[in-house]
Amino acid sequence: MRLRPAALLLLLLSACAPAIRIDVPVTAPPPEQAPAGMDLACFAHPVIDQWERRLRVERPLSADTARVLARGAAYLPHLRDVFSAGGLPSSLALLPAIESSFGPDALSRTGSRGLWQLKAVTARRFGLVVNRRRDERLEPDLATRAAARYLAVLHAHYGDWPLALAAYNVGEGRVDRARRGDPSASFWQLAEDRRLPAASRDYVARFLALVRVVDGAGAC
């Protein structure tokens, strides 16, 4: 029997979702910051809603998402464990679905590599070896631990997951410049005012929609 894309996606989602989800921050964040363990499925915005509908009902996108999640099924349990152990939302393990389609040797036009599409300078900053003989960005466990450290640093800096995700996507410098005139502006304000590119808005919204679809938002 041949499954339709939507049915295949639902089957894969049930396989990818964790049996138990434990998000316990290692240390309490400052009061003005959102807790690092916050459920990413709980973020609400119309653009996230739009992407969630697309992921669920648009056949080409639904089928492609199902294929990507099938490719990532072997990695997800361990990736979730790494983030949970670091006091971060386990749903961040889904980010390679957007970054690399769960391709461990993926290479971008700008030289970013691996599941997490880390640039060489960023990889070295977080302890990975990147040289002519060895590139630890291509080792899923090591690259995941480096990405987790990077995301933790970004969240500590911005106190907000959408901004941290945007910085992972376009770089801290780009986000900091966008906030220079209004440090209290939210990610969505920056995107709506076009101080951040539309591609960044869609990157963040698509990822948070994917978290809703895969992990659900029952606890929100």
DSSP state of 216: -
What are the beta bridge partners of residue 118?
A: 113
Amino acid at 18: P
Strands (E), 3-99: none
Return the closest-CA partner of residue 90 out of 10, 17, 167. 17
Catalytic residue among 32, 52, 58, 99: 99
Q: How far is CA 7 from CA 2, 57, 171, 207, in A?
A: 10, 11, 37, 21
Which among 100, 113, 104 is positioned nearest to 141, based on CA atoms?
A: 104
**52 counts as catalytic:** no
Distance CA 23, CA 38 (A): 8
Active site residues: 99
